[in-house]
Amino acid sequence: MSVDMDKLNTLVFRMLGDLGAAAQGALVLLGDRLGIYRGLADHGPLNAVRLAEHLGLDERSLREWLHAQAAMQYIDYDPLNETFSLSPEQTAVFADPNSPAAFAGGYYSVASLYHDEPKIAEAFKSGAGVPWGAHSTCLFCGTERFFGPAYRTNLIDHWLPALDGMVARLQRGAEVADVGCGHALSTRLMAKAFPNSRFVGIDYHQPSIDHARELARQEGLSNVSFEQGSAQDFPGEGYDLVTFFDCLHDMGDPEGAARQVRKRLKPDGLWMIVEPNAGDSLSANMNPVGRAFLAFSTMVCVPASLSQPGRAGLGAQAGEKRLTEVIKAGGFAQVRRATETPTNMILEARG
């Protein structure tokens, strides 16, 4: 079989670009940890010497970082004055943690993929999967920081209002379970926004529950509590709303989780399922969002599911059709896409 040199060169240059992006991820972590992006946003344009003085860093090390980031066009470079700066758009992505476009925090999760690769390799051989809690701890903080901007931007102002009549119920006072809450950013956002309602965050990973309790204590939230438990046996009953944020596809028995939600809801209660905005086929997911989520799905989501009873292995790109099948198999008669963002679909299920 002969090699098409044009196709080969296209692939090689694609790989060079991807290799550079993968290596630059470590530099993004450095820029975030050391406050370099924030320093550029606050003080730029500056040359390497002046920026190093502001940040208390070694100038030669910092200069190479600046050159590498400029080569990626992650920061701006003025060759006439040899200064570096951040545009407003670059600031939104790298230096403002509250921006809906913030991405730097997600690289902590990327770091965990490389750290945990030997565990995943063994899981490929054994089929045993890798539990969420067995990953490097940088996955947990990285997940919160990656999803956090979208949750802060959309949850209260867009996603909950898209659910039929739910905001009014929350304002009056409702009972809410947030299942698979992790560090409970979603739970805490809702508890702050609706002080008349009561919220319980549930997760099977006890260290995440402990951290969530401490964060809620620091924020002075009195209408939220946390419990360790799985989606198939979480406690409570008579909930007005149950929420699953980017976690249903990670579960070994998502149909069992659906049945448990149906059992715990009030007859007129709603289930909100936030999932990656995936298509229903591989071809539909061959895009930048699919590239990122399929990588995380291979290294985190599917291994987590395969480590649990049921071993459904939905994966992060399951798609609306498959998710709807799972939800209806759990006893829900109606499922609709309430709203969406470029990266998430928000499904509403009712009995």
Percent of the chain with pLDDT over 70: 100
Q: What is the pLDDT of residue 1?
A: 81
- The answer to whether domain 5-94 and domain 106-350 are alike in fold is no
pLDDT digits (tens, 9 = 90+) for 4-18: 999 999 999 999 999
Q: What pLDDT, on the 0 to 100 scale, is given for residue 212?
A: 95
Q: By three-state DSSP, how is residue 176 classified?
A: strand
Q: What band does 307 get if pLDDT is binned at 50, 70 and 90?
A: very high
The per-residue pLDDT for range 75-127, each reduced to its tens digit, is: 999 999 999 999 999 999 999 988 989 999 899 999 999 999 999 999 999 99
Pick the CATH number of 5-94 from 1.10.10.10, 3.50.50.60, 3.60.20.10, 1.25.40.10: 1.10.10.10
Would you state the CATH architecture of domain 106-350?
3-Layer(aba) Sandwich (3.40)
**Which one, of 137, 125, 264, 255, lies nearest residue 207 by Cα?**
137
**Is residue 65 within 8 Å of 85, Cβ to Cβ?**
no
Mean pLDDT of the 56-67 span: 98
**What does the pLDDT average to over 24-47?**
96
Provide the pLDDT for residue 98: 85
Could you give the CA distance from residue 22 to residue 279 in angstroms, rounded to a whole number? Answer: 25
| 160-180 per-position pLDDT tens digit | 999 999 999 999 999 999 999
For the chain, what percent of residues have pLDDT higher than 90? 92
Per-chain mean pLDDT for the chain: 95
Q: Which secondary-structure segment (H or E) carries 336? A: strand 334-340
Mean pLDDT for 276-297 is 94
Q: State the pTM of this model.
A: 0.91
Place 217 in a pLDDT band, splitting at 50, 70 and 90.
Answer: very high
Burial of 99 (0-12, 13-18, 19+ CB in 10 A): middle
Could you tell me the residue ranges of all domains in the chain? 5-94, 106-350
The Cα 68–Cα 84 span in angstroms is 12
- Structure-token pair, residue 29: 């972590």
Tell whether the model's pLDDT for residue 351 goes beyond 90.
no
pLDDT, tens digit, 9 for 90 and up, residues 227-283: 999 999 999 999 999 999 999 999 999 999 999 999 999 999 999 999 999 999 999
Exposure b/e, 235-264, CB count within 10 A at least 16 = b: eeeebbbbbbbbbbbbbbbbbbbbbbbbeb
The pLDDT of residue 306 is above 90: yes
pLDDT higher than 90, residue 54: yes
